[in-house]
Structure 1
Amino acid sequence: MTDVAEPTAETDLHAEIERLRAEVTALTERAERAEALADHDVLTPALNRRGFMTVLARNLAYCRRHGVEAALLYLDMDGFKGINDGLGHAAGDAALLAVAELLLENVRESDAVGRLGGDEFAVVLMNAGADEGREKARRLASALEDEGFDWQGARVALGGSFGVRAYAGQTDAEVWLSEADAAMWLRKKARPEATR
C-alpha cells in the first residue's frame, strides 16, 4: 500500500492563491475589453462619439499647450437616406462601414476617426492647418465618390459633404465640433444635390 500524502493547509492555500490570481487576471482583461468597447462604434471600426470627443478634448489641450496645428473635418454622408430606403438598412450599414474604413485607411495613426451618430463622421488631423484640412477633405470626398461600396454584387455610389475647421484657439471640444458641423452645413446647402 502506497502512502498518499494528505493535502496540507499550505498546499491548499497556494492553490487558492493561484486560482484567485487567475480570476483577477481574467476580470482585468474583461474590464479592459469593456472599456475599449465603450469608446468604439458598435458597427464600424471608428471611435463612437464618446471616444472621439475624449480624443478631441485631449488633442485640443495638446494644441493649446504646445502651439500645434490641427484640423477638424466633419462629414455628413450625401444620399444615405436613399441607400437605406432603396436598398434596405443592411445596405445602409454596409455603407457606414465602407465610409469608416475609407476614412481610417486615409489618415495617419496620429489622427482619429469617429462616427458621431447616424451618417455623420469626424476626423481630427494633428499637425495640419486649414489648407491641409481642406485638401484632405477634398481627397476624401473624391475617394468616397470613386470607391463607393459593393452591395449584392453591384457598386453603389457614396458621397459626402465635409466641413473643415482648423484649430484657432478654441477652448472647448464641443464648440470646435459645432464649428466644423456648421461649416459642413454651409457646404451642403451650397450643393443642392447633396441634400437629397
Structure 2
Amino acid sequence: MKPDIEKIKRESLTKMYEDALETMTDDDVIRMISEVSYLRKQLKSQSDVIARLKKEAYHDPLTGLPNRRYFERELDKSMSYFKRYKRMGALLLIDADSFKSINDSLGHLAGDAILKHISKLLQQHTRSADTVARIGGDEFCIILRETSSEEAFEKAKKLSDIISKTPCTYEGRDIHISVSIGGCSFSEAQDRTDLMNKADSAMYISKNNATAVA
C-alpha cells in the first residue's frame, strides 16, 4: 500500500506548528497575531488599489460610464461573436446637439451636468445586456446585442424622444436638450472601424437634416 504523501505532509506541518507554539511566549503570540493582521490589511489595501485602478482605466470619471478603451474592447468582442455565430447586433452613436454653445453660455459645470444627465437616461432606458459608453466629449455609444437594424432604429427614436422630453435641471433651471443619433447594424460593416465610420456618418446626416435619428 502506497503511503499517503499529502497526509504525511499535513501531519508534519501540524506538528511543526504545534512545536513552535509551545516555545513561543505570550508576547510572541501577540506579535505574530499583530503581524498577520497587518499583512491581511495590506493585502486588502493592495486589492482595493488594483480594483480602483482597473475601474479608472476603463471608466469615464465624470459619468461613471465605460470609456472608449472599454467600449472598443467590448465592440470587438461583440463583432467577433456576431461573425462566429451569425447573431444580430447594432451600434448607436449619440451626439448632444448645440453642446458647445451651452458650455459657452452656461459654463462647463452646466455642461458636465448635461453629460451626466444624458448618461443617466441612456442607462435607464437600455438593457443590462447592452453597453453604454462615453467615448469622448459629448459623444456616447451604445452596443445593442441581439438587436436587428429595425429594432435599433426604433430604440434610437425612443432614446431621442426621451432625452428631448426630459430636461436637465441645473441650479434651479431646466435646460432642454436634444441629441442626434446614427446607427449601423453589424451586418453592414466589415470591422469595428467601418462600423464606427458608418454610424458616425449616419449621425451627422441626422444632425444636418435635423431628423434626430438616421
Larger relative contact order (Cα-Cα within 8 Å, sequence gap ≥ 6) = 1
Range with greater deviation from structure 2 (36-45 or 102-111): 36-45
How many percent of aligned residue pairs carry the same amino acid? 32
Instruction: Please state if 1:56 is matched with 2:75.
Output: yes
Instruction: Please state if 1:86 is matched with 2:108.
Output: no
Query: TM-score, normalised on structure 2?
Result: 0.80
Correspondence list, 1:1-196, <5 A: 5=25, 7-8=27-28, 12-13=31-32, 15-168=34-187, 170=189, 172-191=191-210
Aligned 8 A contact 2:89 2:185 in 1: yes
Structure in which a larger fraction of residues adopt helix: 2
- Structure 1 runs not aligned, ≥5 long: none
Q: Indicate the structure (1 or 2) with the bigger Cα radius of gyration.
A: 2
Alignment partners' CA distance in 2, 1:20 and 1:72: 47
Deviation at 1:25, TM superposition (A): 2.3
Query: TM-score, normalised on structure 1?
Result: 0.87
Aligned 8 A contact 2:188 2:195 in 1: no
User: Aligned to 1:44, what secondary structure does the other structure show?
Assistant: coil
Aligned 8 A contact 1:129 1:167 in 2: no
Deviation at 1:167, TM superposition (A): 0.8
Distance 1:15 1:62, change over 3 A: same
Aligned length: 188
RMSD over aligned Cα atoms = 2.1
Distance 1:23 1:77, change over 3 A: same
- Structure 2 runs not aligned, ≥5 long: 1-24
